[in-house]
C-alpha cells in the first residue's frame, strides 16, 4: 500500500513537471558528507519513477516465486477449488446421512478442509450435546438455538440456562432476544417482558416494527396482572392504545381500567368512539351493560345519527337499548334491519332471547337454531359493515 502511494506521488510530480518544463530543466544540487550530486529535476523524477516501478515488479515476482511451492502443494494435496468444495459437500452429506460407504481416507481429507471449530459446530448441530459457559460461543449459540425451538422438548430450566449462556456470548443477537421474549411469555412474566420489549423497541425501532404488536399485547396482559385501579395499570393501558388505537383488546383494557377508577364517562366515550370506527360486538356488549341503566337517553343519542353512519355493532346496540327502554316496536324494526344486513350468531341469539321473554317458545327455538347455523358456518363478521 505504501509503495502504491509513492508511485502515485511520483506520477503526480511528473505530471506537474510536464506542465512546467522550465522547472524540469533547472538543475538541482545536493551536497552532503563532502559529496555533491547534481541533476536536472525532470530527469531525476523520471529515474525515481522507474526505480519505484522496478521495486514494485521485484516484489511481485518474489511473492509469486515463494508462493508457488505452497500453493502447488495445496493443489497437489487437496485438488482445485471445485474438488475442495465437492469434498466438503461429501463430508457434510456423510455426517447428515450417517453414511458408512465413504472411504476413511477420503473422509480424512475432507475433514482437513474444514477448520476444527467448523467440524465441532457441525457435530453439535447433528448430535446435540450439553455445553458449558467455557465452550466455543458458536457451539453455545447452536445448542441454545436448538433447545429453544418450539418443538425441541427440552425442559424449561435447561432452556433458560442455555438462553442465558447464549445472551452472554452474543448479547446483541436479535434471535436470542426474541427467544428470550418467547420464554418470558411462556412463563407469564409479563412485566419483565414489557421491559425487555420496550428496550428492543427503543434500540431497534427502525428495524423492529415486528416488536410493536408483541409489545402492545404484553401491555394488555400486564394490565390484568396489576390492580386495575392503580396508576401503573392506567399507564400500561394507555401505552397499549397509543401503539394501536384500533386494537380491540387494548381498548377494552383501557375501558375496564377507567371503570375500576370510577371514570364511567371516560370508559363510555372511549368505547363509543371505538364503535364509530370499528364494528365490534364485544365492545358494543360492554357498552350496553354500562348504558342500560339510562337506556332511553343513550338510545336517543344513537337515534339522532343517520342510519348510514351506524355500523352493524352500533345498530345492534341501538336495538338493545330500544328494547331496554320498552320501545318494542322500534327494537324489532332495528333488529330486523340488522338481520338483513348482518345475519350473525349474536343477532339471531338476541332475537331468540326476546322471543323467550315473551314466552314464544317455537319462534325462540327457530331463532336459536339459526344462531347455531351461523356458528357452525363461522359467519364472517367482516362481511358486516
Summarize pLDDT for 84-127 with one digit per residue, the tens: 667 667 666 665 565 555 555 555 555 566 666 676 666 666 66
Assess if residue 268 is contained within a domain: no
Q: 348 and 369 in contact (C-beta within 8 Å)?
A: no
Residue 345 confidence (pLDDT) above 90 = no
How many other C-beta atoms can be found within 10 angstroms of the C-beta atom of residue 64?
Answer: 10
User: 132 and 55 in one domain?
Assistant: no
The arithmetic mean of pLDDT across residues 235-262, rounded, is: 91
Domain count across the chain:
3
Domain interval for residue 318: 291-385
pLDDT recorded at residue 220: 92
Which pLDDT band holds residue 258 (cuts at 50, 70, 90)? very high
pLDDT recorded at residue 348: 86
User: 381 and 314 in one domain?
Assistant: yes
Sorted by sequence, the CB contacts under 8 Å of residue 367 that are 6+ apart come out as 348, 349, 351, 352, 355
User: 53 and 127 in one domain?
Assistant: no
Summarised one tens digit per residue, pLDDT across range 179-232 is 888 888 888 888 888 888 888 887 766 556 678 888 899 999 999 988 888 889
User: 142 and 55 in one domain?
Assistant: no
Assess if residue 194 is contained within a domain: no
β-strand partners of 28? 39
Assess if residue 6 is contained within a domain: yes
User: 136 and 61 in one domain?
Assistant: no
Assess if residue 329 is contained within a domain: yes
User: 65 and 8 in one domain?
Assistant: yes
pLDDT recorded at residue 83: 67
Q: Which of 78, 106, 123 is a domain's end point?
A: 78
Which pLDDT band holds residue 68 (cuts at 50, 70, 90)? low
Q: 136 and 120 in contact (C-beta within 8 Å)?
A: yes
User: 73 and 18 in one domain?
Assistant: yes
User: 364 and 309 in one domain?
Assistant: yes
Distances 85 to 13, 71, 82, 228, 334 between C-alpha atoms, Å? 48, 17, 5, 63, 75
Assess if residue 278 is contained within a domain: no
User: 67 and 119 in one domain?
Assistant: no
CATH number at 339 reads 1.25.40
Assess if residue 33 is contained within a domain: yes
The arithmetic mean of pLDDT across residues 49-67, rounded, is: 76
Residue 17 confidence (pLDDT) above 80 = no
Three-class SS of 173-239: CHHHHHHHHHHHHHHCCHHHHHHHHHHHHHHCHHHCCHHHHHHHHHHHHHHHHCCCCCHHHHHHHHH
Distances 254 to 208, 249, 260, 367 between C-alpha atoms, Å? 25, 9, 10, 35
Residue 253 confidence (pLDDT) above 90 = yes
Q: Which of 181, 198, 216 is a domain's end point?
A: 181
The arithmetic mean of pLDDT across residues 268-278, rounded, is: 89
The arithmetic mean of pLDDT across residues 338-347, rounded, is: 83
User: 360 and 296 in one domain?
Assistant: yes
Q: What percent of the chain has pLDDT over 70?
A: 70
Summarised one tens digit per residue, pLDDT across range 358-380 is 888 888 888 888 888 877 766 55
Assess if residue 337 is contained within a domain: yes
Summarised one tens digit per residue, pLDDT across range 2-12 is 656 666 766 77
User: 32 and 120 in one domain?
Assistant: no
pLDDT recorded at residue 382: 45
Q: Which of 125, 158, 181 is a domain's end point?
A: 181
Assess if residue 325 is contained within a domain: yes
Amino acid at each position: 500500500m505504501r509503495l502504491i502511494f509513492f508511485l502515485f506521488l511520483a506520477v503526480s510530480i511528473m505530471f506537474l513537471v510536464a506542465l512546467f518544463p522550465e522547472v524540469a530543466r533547472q538543475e538541482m544540487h545536493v551536497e552532503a558528507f563532502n559529496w555533491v550530486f547534481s541533476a536536472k529535476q525532470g530527469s531525476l523524477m523520471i529515474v525515481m519513477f522507474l526505480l519505484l516501478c522496478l521495486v514494485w515488479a521485484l516484489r511481485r515476482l518474489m511473492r509469486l516465486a515463494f508462493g508457488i511451492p505452497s500453493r502447488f502443494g495445496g493443489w497437489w494435496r487437496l485438488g482445485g477449488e471445485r474438488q475442495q468444495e465437492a469434498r466438503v459437500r461429501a463430508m457434510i452429506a456423510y455426517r447428515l446421512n450417517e453414511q458408512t460407504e465413504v472411504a476413511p481416507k477420503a473422509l480424512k481429507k475432507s475433514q482437513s478442509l474444514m477448520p476444527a471449530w467448523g467440524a465441532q459446530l457441525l457435530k453439535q448441530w447433528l448430535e446435540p450435546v450439553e455445553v458449558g459457559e467455557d465452550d466455543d460461543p458458536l457451539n453455545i449459540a447452536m445448542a441454545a438455538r436448538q433447545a429453544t425451538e418450539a418443538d425441541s422438548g427440552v425442559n424449561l430450566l435447561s432452556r433458560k440456562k442455555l438462553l442465558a449462556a447464549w445472551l452472554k456470548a452474543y448479547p446483541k443477537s436479535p434471535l436470542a432476544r426474541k427467544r428470550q421474549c418467547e420464554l418470558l411469555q411462556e412463563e407469564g412474566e409479563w412485566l419483565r417482558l414489557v421491559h425487555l420489549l420496550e428496550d428492543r423497541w427503543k434500540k431497534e425501532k427502525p428495524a423492529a416494527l415486528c416488536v410493536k404488536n408483541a409489545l402492545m399485547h404484553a401491555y394488555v396482559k400486564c394490565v390484568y396482572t396489576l390492580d386495575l385501579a392503580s396508576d401503573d395499570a392506567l399507564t400500561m393501558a394507555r401505552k397499549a392504545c397509543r401503539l394501536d388505537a384500533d386494537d380491540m383488546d387494548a381498548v377494552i383494557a383501557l375501558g375496564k381500567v377507567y371503570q375500576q377508577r370510577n371514570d364511567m364517562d371516560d370508559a363510555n366515550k372511549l368505547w363509543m368512539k371505538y364503535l364509530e370506527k370499528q364494528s365490534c360486538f364485544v365492545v358494543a356488549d360492554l357498552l350496553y351493560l354500562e348504558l342500560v341503566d339510562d337506556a332511553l337517553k343513550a338510545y336517543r343519542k344513537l337515534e339522532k345519527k343517520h342510519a348510514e353512519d351506524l355500523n352493524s355493532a352500533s345498530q345492534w346496540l341501538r336495538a338493545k337499548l330500544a328494547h331496554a327502554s320498552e320501545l318494542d316496536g322500534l327494537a324489532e324494526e332495528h333488529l330486523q334491519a340488522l338481520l338483513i344486513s348482518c345475519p350473525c350468531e349474536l343477532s339471531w341469539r338476541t332475537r331468540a332471547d326476546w322471543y323467550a321473554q315473551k314466552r314464544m317458545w317455537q319462534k325462540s327455538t327457530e331463532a336459536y337454531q339459526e344462531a347455531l347455523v351461523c356458528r357452525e358456518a363461522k359467519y364472517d363478521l367482516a362481511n358486516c359493515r
